[in-house]
Amino acid sequence: MKYKCLVLDHDDTVVNSTATIHYPCFVEYLEKYRPELAKNYTLEDYFIKNFHPGILSLLRDEVGLSPEEVLHEEKYWSEYVKNHIPLSYAGIGEIIAEFRRQGGIIAVDSHSYSEYIIRDYKHNRLPAPDVIYGWDLPKEQRKPAPDTLFMLMEKYSLSPSEILVVDDLKPGYDMARGAGVDFAAAGWAYDVREISEFMKKNCDYYLASVEELSSLLFD
């Protein structure tokens, strides 16, 4: 295999979660605590804002939440996610299993909590990752910071050229670039022109389907 370590984002890369869970939760929260803004964001808007500048900036700078309200929204989101389990994309489990079978290392680097990532993998009967870096990390170590990739390199004696990051959003891209690691854009969750144009122009690979990821890794 070209790569020894596959670093997978979780939401909208392994599981279909933004459209089915995170966006509905966001709208529900606004309806309760910022009703005047509840109709301001379509699903496409939400994808774009998550792509750049990111969810925290959206909550702070656009929705106008105070630091205390951001913490409250995070708890609200955590409770919502606790009771809603996303489904994995068809074929992603087979890719993970085959990569593992050929001796590869599977890492997850996500803005979701580790406990929910573990739950989602179990629910969807996906092979368990070797290591998970989730929202539980100190904020300075989360994406887009490259810290977790350096941790991986040290833990498994990897060089940057042996790692591939697969993610649908810009924080994952920034993280990979910060560590000198190849990046593949996961383009199968949604088709938003602003995002796909950036990814096609800047990333090492743009993958429109899960099947294209399989071809990249194994063909």
Domain boundaries, the chain: 5-16+88-218, 18-82
Q: 53-104 pLDDT, tens per residue?
A: 888 899 999 999 999 999 999 999 999 999 999 999 999 999 999 999 999 9
Q: Are 6 and 164 in contact (CB under 8 A)?
A: yes
| pLDDT tens column, 127-168 | 999 999 999 999 999 999 999 999 999 999 999 999 999 999
Q: In the numeric block, which tokens belong to residue 189?
A: 């969750």
Tens-place pLDDT, residues 2-33: 999 999 999 999 999 999 999 999 999 999 99
Please state, for a pLDDT cut of 70, what percent of the chain lies above it: 100
Strands (E) located in 4-76 = 5-8, 15-16
- CA torsion sign for 129, 130, 136, 140 is negative
3-class SS of residue 30? helix
Given this model, what pLDDT does residue 50 score?
87
Q: What is the pTM of this model?
A: 0.92
Helix (H, G, I), strand (E, B) or coil at 185: strand
* pLDDT score, position 162: 98
Over residues 187-204, the mean pLDDT reads 94
Structure tokens at 216: 């990249």
CATH topology of domain 5-16+88-218: Rossmann fold (3.40.50)
Contact 41, 201 (CB under 8 A): no
β-partners of residue 7 are: 107, 165
CB-count burial class (<10 Å; 0-12, 13-18, 19+) for 201: exposed
